[in-house]
Amino acid sequence: MNATYGTPQMHSVYPVTGDPATGRWAVVSNTRDWRNGFWPGILWTLAQHTGDDLWRQHATNWSNALATSANLDHDIGFITLASLGKGWLYHDDLSDPDGTYRAFAKSAVTTAAAKLDSRFNQPNADNIPIPAGLTRSWNPPFQSPYPVCVDNLMNLEVMFLAYELNGRLPQQRVWFDHALAHARTSIARHLRADGGTYHVVRHFESGPPVGGIERKNTLQGYGDETTWSRGQAWAIHGLTAAYRHARRDPATDASDLLAAARAAAGYFLDHLPHYFTADANNHRLGDFVPPCDFDAALGEPIGPWNDANDNYNPTTGSGLGDRRPATSSFTPRDSSAAAIAASALIELSGYMASAADRERFLAAAEDILVCLITYDGPDAGTAPDYLCAADDFSNPGILKAGTVRWNEESRSLIYGDYYFLEALSRYEALRAREKLAATQEACRHETGVDFTFEISAPAPTLAFRVMKSPDLSDGSWATVAARTGSSPWGGSASVSEESLPGGTTRVRVTDTSPTPQGFFRILTRSIGGGGP
């Protein structure tokens, strides 16, 4: 990027999609494209993974221009959460002692939330609010009237997060309320009874049915009644994040959000090629990456919005009933849908009351991630089907075989890489924290105190802060040892590490400060997010 564009121009040029013709990233040179935030988000993940300040500076440089994104539609959430949102999550009192960066990131999130909220029940051309209970996707005339895509569930978090970062002020409660209302209305209008999802729901903008459903259709799937797999993954991830935020509010019963996320996840898993034997053209044992459309090979299911020839008349209600036929062929996979779902399933598993659901969703995330890294299908060749080899110059990303829409050529997708790294960091953090919680121990000796704990090695996507308090009554804590990612330990205490069998590391923090008593705690922070 630097060699091609030079500084500072490179910091406003964002890779977005692999170009099959050149084997390089396609780039955009504006701050409004919905994919812009994913490249900075990848850099934030690398910054925490390595603990290297060079990556932090790269992430900062590429995020800064997005604080004032020119985006004019619903995707301001994608842009801001992946860049400034990850930047806020990266920093704490050690990495940002005066709070300057966190204040900058909070301001950007707040601005984005206000911009997105302005689209809730957005007025029509006569300035009359449309009572849809949803934030509008896109701008007229694209997909009018009043379209709402399932992807928009992913953007809601910017409103939830802004409400929390600003201290849950009463005057900003509207962001929480509108985000929650959108999630619930989307459950009612996008989610089918079997847990599958419609891509786009359009609403009347005038007349007696104003705010009611005009039609349901797809832009990126095979047919209006088929299930586009990345849209299904967006639903799982977006609903899980909405539940995370809503459950923190004492006045909100968020069980409906959790139930919807569970239903969407169940549909996704049941229709993966490994399990779905009904589709002989796509069933492959060991393949946990979904086809870009779950239904194309078997044909469009019967539903109220079948309209293969696209001649529906909303005034008369005529034109429906014609279905797209079965392709009866192999459907290209979408590695980005797999990565998005894996990240969501890791978080969702932690919210399940049933042990069976917890185990199912976490095991499914593991299966998907292993498949993305290692799967080599029945076709000729030994290279993994979904992971780019170092010498694979036809795909610029970490993952290949991403599909933007039905029947489009597969390629690397920047958001596929982003959610793949997010899933890996979430998984690594989860396993490290499980070990950490079970192994903490403090032992006094003649010269001080040893505080020991074990982590799954190497766990570089966690920032660790070992803290000590001489007296719990005043609530004061001082950091005595700290590490970010793979960087060395620092702080006043001495730290040693011992490798144990089974990929575990025992960390020993030795504190010799002259205090008669003390209490220790350890805090962790993951760039992957997705925690309670």
1 located within any domain:
no
Residue 531: inside a domain, yes or no? Answer: no
Instruction: Mark whether 157 and 107 lie in a shared domain.
Output: no
Order of all β-strands in the sheet with 448-456: 441-445, 448-456, 504-511, 494-500
pLDDT of residue 311: 95
8 Å CB contact between 308 and 323: yes
For residue 5, tell me if it sits in a domain: no
Q: Does 278 lie in the same domain as 421?
A: yes
- Quick one: pLDDT band at residue 461, thresholds 50, 70, 90? confident
What pLDDT, on the 0 to 100 scale, is given for residue 458? 72
pLDDT computed for residue 390 by the predictor: 85
Q: Which pLDDT does position 444 carry in this prediction?
A: 87
Between 532 and 212, the higher pLDDT residue: 212
Question: Does position 21 have pLDDT exceeding 90, yes or no?
Answer: no
Report how far Cα 165 is from the mean position of its chain's Cα atoms. Answer: 19
| Pair type for strands 448-456 and 478-484 | unpaired
**How would DSSP label each residue in 77-112?**
HHHHIIIIIHHHHH--TTTSTT-HHHHHHHHHHHHH
Q: Does 2 fall in a domain? A: no
What are the C-alpha distances in Å from 304 to residues 309, 312, 318, 321, 322? 15, 12, 12, 7, 10
Q: Do 62 and 186 belong together in one domain?
A: no
Average pLDDT of 435-451? Answer: 89
Question: What tens digit of pLDDT does each residue of 404-437 get?
Answer: 999 899 999 999 999 999 999 999 999 999 999 9
CA distance 294 to 218: 13
368 with 480, same domain: the answer is no
- For 138-194, the pLDDT digits (tens) are 999 999 999 999 999 999 999 999 999 999 999 999 999 999 999 999 999 999 999
**pLDDT at residue 497 greater than cutoff 90:** yes
Of 118, 139, 156, the domain-final residue: 118
Which of 94, 118, 142 is the endpoint of a domain? 118
What is the spatial distance between Cα 427 and Cα 433, in angstroms, rounded to a whole number?
A: 10
30: alpha, beta or left? (left if phi > 0; alpha if psi -120 to 50) = beta
Domain range for 33: 10-118
pLDDT of 274 > 80? The answer is yes
Q: Can you tell me the distance from the alpha carbon of 83 to that of 40, in angstroms, rounded to the nearest whole number? A: 5
For residue 197, the cross-strand partners are: 191
Task: Give pLDDT, residue 471.
Answer: 82
> What is the rounded CA–CA span in Å between residue 115 and residue 127?
17
Secondary structure (3-state) at 500: strand
Q: Are 455 and 436 in contact (CB under 8 A)?
A: yes
Q: Is the pLDDT of residue 380 over 80?
A: no
Model confidence band, residue 39 (pLDDT cutoffs 50, 70, 90): very high
CATH of the domain at 153: 1.50.10.10
Q: 3 lies in a domain?
A: no
Could you tell me what percent of the chain has a pLDDT over 90? Answer: 87
Dihedral of CA atoms 479, 481, 485, 486 in degrees, nearest 10, equals 160
Mean pLDDT value across the chain: 95
Q: What is the token pair recorded at 247?
A: 């459950």
Structure tokens at 285: 């044992």
Residues 152 and 222 in one domain: yes
The DSSP string of 258-277 is HHHHHHHHHHHHHTSTTT-T
Q: Taking 80 as the threshold, does the pLDDT of residue 459 lie above it?
A: no
Together in a domain, 174 and 317? yes
Same domain, 130 and 169: yes
Q: What is the mean pLDDT of residues 363-370?
A: 98
Distance CA 178, CA 383 (A): 47
Cα separation, 265 vs 337, in Å, equals 12
Question: Do 469 and 407 share a domain, yes or no?
Answer: no
Instruction: Report the Cα–Cα distance between both ends of the chain, in Å, rounded.
Output: 37
Structure-model confidence comparison of residues 92 and 516, the more confident one:
92
Residue 516 has pLDDT above 70, yes or no: no
Residue 29 lies in a domain: yes
- Give the model's confidence band at 513: pLDDT under 50 very low, under 70 low, under 90 confident, else very high: confident
Over 80: is that where the pLDDT of 517 sits? no
DSSP string, 471-482: -GGGT--EEEEE
Edge to edge, the sheet with strand 478-484 lists 478-484, 462-469, 519-526
- Poorest-pLDDT segment among 79-83, 283-287, 297-301, 375-379: 375-379
Do residues 69 and 211 share a domain? Answer: no
Confidence of residue 490 (pLDDT cuts 50, 70, 90): very high
Return d(Cα 232, Cα 318) in angstroms, integer. Answer: 28
Specify if 360 maps to a domain.
yes
Q: What value does the mean pLDDT take over residues 292-309?
A: 98
What domain count does the chain have? 3
Whether residues 81 and 37 fall in one domain = yes
Asked if residue 1 has pLDDT above 80, the reply is yes
Beta bridge partners, 217, equal 200
Residues 167 and 188 in one domain: yes
CATH code for the domain in which residue 451 is found: 2.60.40
Is residue 306, in this structure, part of any structural domain at all?
yes
> How far from the centroid of its chain's Cα atoms is residue 18's Cα?
20
Claim to verify: residue 417 and residue 475 sit in the same structural domain: no
Domain boundary among 118, 133, 149: 118
